[in-house]
Every structure is written in structure tokens, then in C-alpha cells.
């Protein structure tokens, strides 16, 4: 069915607005952390997959890192395995780590790969074990309190941090027109697997690839001020002040620190965007307004 005149003009306007962004980002790498509502809502999952395929078709190299905390929690609940958390991180013994690998590296990863491929892309699913992509080290958690004579070091099991990223694996896939889809599981020199926060993995991947953009999908509109208003464009120093005065706190703090560290390490721009919005990734990349908070190195 033909578009009416007003609708056709609107489509032309959108395409025209996107053109300079397509020209700017062709040949560039954009790292996207996929999680939250965008991973569970059927319509949002479909729009995300189409966004990633569209990016690849216009010459951008998307690299996807995904989470899966709710899916892990659901499986543990079904198996009557209780979860314990320390500072927001799941205590992960060997049994739990095996289940984490099954969920993240198996069902969740392959669902995303399948969805992208069904929409015309060529996605390849990976964990950090593939090609030693993510070398990890055990994360040590310390706690301090006035009553303690010395900090308490807590063992939370197979929870890790990123030691290094093997860029050769990603370069090979991107140059071959494949879309890497990465589960945030790392491995140490002894072959032990570690569950790593997906935001941290996305930030490190963006750093080592010197990505044009790091995009973190969230379940909020972006970074909000104390009055609940969206903060759209921020520099490093402004973010530091917002952390210091408590505007950035709790669950948003790790995401902002991840974005901040990536920008400080040479990533051109980091975006905290609303994954509840259909086609949020394309809107952030190819429109003037965007749908979230932009962080740059500029003051």
C-alpha cells in the first residue's frame, strides 16, 4: 500500500537525517551491551536484531555483548538452588558456574544469534573460552567497616574481572562480515571459567577495539538528575561531579563507571540508552536527538 504524502515526507526526512551519520560511521566499530527488557520483550528483541543487521548492512561493524542475569536466576529457582549476592554480585560456586555457562553460552547466546540471523545477519556466538577471547582473573571483594581491624576479603567463587581481550578473534570475524555475539564468560590460565559483569566486558571490548561508540542498553531513559530529568550530553568532568554529589548512585553507578573508563581509554562516545524503546540503537546512532545519555571526553 502506498504511503500518503505526509507519511512519505516523514520517511524521507528520517532517511535524510540518517545519511550523515551513516557516512560518519561506515567502517567504524560500535560495541553494544544487550540486556534488560530488550532481551525479554518479543517486539524489542525483534527490533534490536533488525538494528544490528541494519548497522552491518550500512558498513558499521557491530559487536554485541549480552547479559542474562534473570535467565540464570530463573533456572536456579527451578532447580531449587538459592542465590546469594555480595555487593550485587552472585556468589558462584562450581555447580552454579556450570549452570551459568549453560545459560549464557548456550540458550541465551544462541537465541540472540538465531534472531540476528533470521533477520538477515550473519552472527557468530562466542564465550571467552573461544579462541581465549576473554582472559579473566578471579575477582576479589573486600569489605571495610570501623569495627574491622583489617579489610575482609570475601571469596564469591567463579566471579571474575577482565584481564585481557584477544582482539584477533574479533578482527577476523568483523573483517569476514560476521557479527560477534559474546557471552561474558572468561577463562584463566588454568582453564577455570568465570562469570563477568556484561557491562565490564563491553567496556573492555570497546577499549581494546578503540570503538567509535559503546552503547549500554538499560531499563531507564538514561542518566537522570535529582529532579528526574534526563541528562543528555555529559563530559568526563561533569560525570565526576554527579558521582561526587550522589546524583549517580546504586545500580546506575557501575554502568556509568564502565562508560567513563571506556571514554578515558579512547572510545569516542559512550551512550546509556533506553532499551525499552523500539529500535533504540538505531535512534541513538542515526538521529539528532537520540534516546539516552551521551558521555564524551569533552568538558
Does residue 3 belong to any structural domain of this protein?
Answer: no
In a domain, 197, yes or no: yes
User: Is 0.85 topped by the overall pTM?
Assistant: yes
3-state SS string for 15-44: HHHHHHHHHHHCCCEEEEEECHHHHCCHHH
Host domain of residue 213: 28-296
Most confidently predicted of 82-91, 114-123, 245-254, 277-286: 114-123
Mean confidence (pLDDT) of the chain? 89
**Distance from C-alpha of 136 to C-alpha of 128, rounded to nearest angstrom:** 9
Does a structural domain hold residue 146? yes
Q: Is residue 4 part of a domain?
A: no
pLDDT digits (tens, 9 = 90+) for 31-84: 999 988 888 889 999 999 999 999 999 999 999 999 998 899 999 999 999 888
**CATH at residue 263:** 3.40.1160.10
Residue 1 is assigned to a structural domain of this protein: no
Residue 150 within a domain: yes
Residue 281 included in any domain: yes
| Separation in Å, CA 160 to CA 16, 64, 91 | 45, 20, 11
Per residue in 116-163, pLDDT (tens digit) is: 999 999 999 999 999 999 999 999 877 665 555 556 677 889 999 999
Q: What is the DSSP letter of 82?
A: P
Residue 257 forms part of a structural domain: yes
Phi, psi (degrees; rounded to nearest 5) at 29: -100, 135
- DSSP three-state, residue 164: strand
205 vs 125: CA distance, rounded Å = 15
Number of domains in the chain: 1
Amino acid at each position: 500500500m502506498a504511503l500518503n504524502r505526509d507519511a512519505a515526507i516523514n520517511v524521507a526526512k528520517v532517511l535524510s537525517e540518517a545519511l550523515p551519520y551513516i557516512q560518519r560511521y561506515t567502517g567504524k566499530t560500535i560495541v553494544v551491551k544487550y540486556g534488560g527488557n530488550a532481551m525479554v520483550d518479543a517486539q524489542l528483541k525483534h527490533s534490536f536484531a533488525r538494528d544490528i543487521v541494519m548497522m552491518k548492512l550500512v558498513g558499521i561493524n557491530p559487536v554485541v555483548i549480552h547479559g542474562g542475569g534473570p535467565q540464570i536466576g530463573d533456572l536456579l529457582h527451578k532447580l531449587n538452588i538459592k542465590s546469594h549476592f555480595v555487593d550485587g554480585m552472585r556468589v558462584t560456586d562450581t555447580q552454579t558456574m556450570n549452570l551459568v555457562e549453560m545459560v549464557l553460552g548456550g540458550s541465551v547466546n544462541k537465541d540472540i544469534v538465531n534472531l540476528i540471523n533470521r533477520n538477515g545477519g550473519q552472527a557468530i556466538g562466542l564465550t571467552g573460552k573461544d579462541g581465549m577471547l576473554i582472559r579473566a582473573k578471579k575477582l576479589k571483594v573486600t569489605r571495610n567497616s570501623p569495627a574491622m581491624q583489617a579489610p575482609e576479603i570475601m571469596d564469591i567463587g567463579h566471579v571474575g574481572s577482565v584481564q585481557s581481550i584477544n582482539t584477533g578473534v574479533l578482527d577476523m570475524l568483523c573483517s569476514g562480515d560476521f557479527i560477534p555475539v559474546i557471552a561474558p564468560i572468561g577463562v584463566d590460565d588454568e582453564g577455570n571459567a568465570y562469570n563477568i559483569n556484561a557491562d565490564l566486558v563491553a567496556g573492555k571490548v570497546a577499549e581494546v577495539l578503540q570503538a567509535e561508540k559503546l552503547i549500554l542498553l538499560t531499563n531507564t531513559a538514561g542518566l537522570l538528575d535529582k529532579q528526574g530529568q534526563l541528562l543528555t550530553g555529559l563530559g568526563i568532568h561533569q560525570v565526576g561531579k554527579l558521582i561526587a554529589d550522589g546524583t549517580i548512585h546504586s545500580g546506575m553507578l557501575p554502568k556509568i563507571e564502565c562508560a567513563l573508563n571506556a571514554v578515558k581509554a579512547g572510545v569516542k562516545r559512550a551512550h546509556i540508552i533506553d532499551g525499552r524503546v523500539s529500535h533504540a540503537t538505531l535512534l541513538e546512532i542515526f538521529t539528532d536527538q537520540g534516546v539516552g545519555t551521551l558521555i564524551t571526553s569533552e568538558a
